[in-house]
Amino acid sequence: MPELQQPLPDAPDEKVGFAVVGLGAYALNQIIPNLGSTQHAKLTALVSGNAEKARTVGRAYGVMEEHQYSYDDFDRIAEDDSVDVIYIILPNALHREWTERAFAAGKHVLCEKPMAVTAEDCRAMIDAGKRAGKQLMIGYRAQYDPYNLRAIELVRGEEKAIGEPHLVFTEHGRMLKPKEEQRDEWRAVKELAGGGSLYDIGIYSLNGARYLLGEEPVSVTANYREPSEKEVDVEEGVAWTMKFPSGATANCSSSYRVEQAKRIFVQGTEGEVTLDPATDYYVRNLYVKTKEKNTQLIIPQANQFTAMLDEMALAARENRTPKTPGEEGLRDVTIMQAIYRAADSGKEVTL
C-alpha cells in the first residue's frame, strides 16, 4: 500500500445513500459528479419532474428505475432503504415544502441555500426535523472550503495574522440572463426565488462576513443599487452595511448587473486577508498582506463539495447536528429580511 493522500473511502454498501431532488444545473454539474468522489456518500435515488431526464441521469450514474421518483410519487421514498439523506436542489421558494415532505418520509435533509424565503419558513423546517428526529443541514459549501477555512484561521486564529479585524468588504455579482439561461428563469420571478441577487449570491457576502469575523451583526443599513429590469420582479442590486459587537463593520453588496464578482477582503490593524475569488466552485485565491510581506497561499486538492457532502453523510450516520444546521440558514434569512426592511425604509434596522 503506498502512502495515501486521503483515507480510502467506505465500502460502497456502507456509504450513506443520497437522493437528489431537482436535476437542474447545480445538481448535474456540481453535486452529482462530486458525490462519486466522497469518502462516505453515494447517489442512490433521483427525484425529478421529468422522467426521461431521470432515466438518462440514472443510466449514467447507475441509479435503477425503482429508485427514480417523480414529484407526485415522491412520498413512497419513505420505503426506500437505500436513501438516508434527501438533498433538495430546487428553486428557493420550494425548499420549505420539500424539506417538510422529506422529513415526513423519515429521512435526513440537506437543503440548498438560501434555506427558505422567510424566517418563519426556516423555523417550520427546523421544527419538522426535530419532530422527525432527523438532521437538517444547509449547503453552505464555502464553510467547508479549505481556502475559506484557512482565511478564518488567519483572521480569527491564534496567529492573528492581520491584528484586530475591523473592516470586511465583500461583493458578489453576476449577470442574470432570464431570457437566455434556463436556470435564471425562476430567479427573475419573486414567487419562486423569494428574493433577488441578495438571496441568490449576496448570501455569500453575508455569510462570509459572519464566518470571517466570527460574530453576529447587531444592525444593518441598506440601499437598492439600481431599479430592476421590467422582466425581473426581484431586486437586482443591493448594498448594505452591517455593524458587529466588536466594532467591526462589513460593507457588502450583490448585483445581477456585473459580469463576475466573488470577492472578500478583511482588513485589520496589522494587515489584510483577501479571497478573490472567494466562493468560486473551482478557483480560490487567498492572499495575506502585512507591512512586511504579501503572500499567496496555495492549498492543493481543495474540494469544498466533497467536504460538505461528507459532513452531511457523517451527521446522518451519527445522527448528530451538522456543522451548518438549519439554525445557520435561519440566521442568514433573518438578516436578509432585515436588509430588505432597511433598504425599503432607508433606516437602520436593529437585529
List the catalytic residues: 113, 204
Q: Min. distance of Cβ 191 from ligand NAD in angstroms?
A: 9
Going by their DSSP bridges, the two strands 16-21 and 41-47 should be labelled as parallel
Q: Which of residues 21 and 288 has its CB atom nearest to ligand NAD in the complex?
A: 21
Task: Count the residues in the chain.
Answer: 351
Q: Does 175 bind ligand NAD (CB under 6 A)?
A: no
For 267, the enclosing helix (H) or strand (E) is: strand 257-268
The residue range among 10-18, 91-99, 211-219, 251-259 that interacts with ligand NAD, by the rule CB under 6 A, is 91-99
C-alpha to C-alpha distances, 148 to 121, 141, 168, 198, nearest whole angstrom: 28, 10, 14, 20
The residue range among 73-81, 83-91, 248-256, 337-345 that interacts with ligand NAD, by the rule CB under 6 A, is 83-91
> 102-122: buried (b, 16+ CB within 10 Å) or exposed (e) per residue?
bbebebbbbbbbbbbbbbebb
With CB under 6 A as the contact rule, the residue among 41, 47, 89, 162 that binds ligand NAD is 89
Q: Which of residues 108 and 289 has its CB atom nearest to ligand NAD in the complex?
A: 108
> 244-277: buried (b, 16+ CB within 10 Å) or exposed (e) per residue?
beeebbbbbbbbbeeeebbbbbbbbeebbbbbbb
Q: Min. distance of Cβ 95 from ligand NAD in angstroms?
A: 7
Contact 170, 263 (CB under 8 A): yes
CA distance 309 to 283: 19
Identify the bridge partners of residue 60 per DSSP, sorted by sequence position. Answer: none
Q: Which of residues 93 and 162 has its CB atom nearest to ligand NAD in the complex?
A: 93
Q: Which of residues 31 and 132 has its CB atom nearest to ligand NAD in the complex?
A: 31
The residue range among 21-29, 36-44, 227-235, 243-251 that interacts with ligand NAD, by the rule CB under 6 A, is 21-29
Kindly state the DSSP code that residue 258 receives in the 8-state scheme: E
With CB under 6 A as the contact rule, the residue among 141, 150, 262, 263 that binds ligand NAD is 141
With CB under 6 A as the contact rule, the residue among 17, 91, 173, 208 that binds ligand NAD is 91
With CB under 6 A as the contact rule, the residue among 49, 163, 227, 245 that binds ligand NAD is 49
Residue indicated by cell numbers 443591493: 238
Residues that bind ligand NAD (CB under 6 A): 22-27, 49, 89-92, 94, 112-113, 139, 141, 182-183, 186, 192, 200
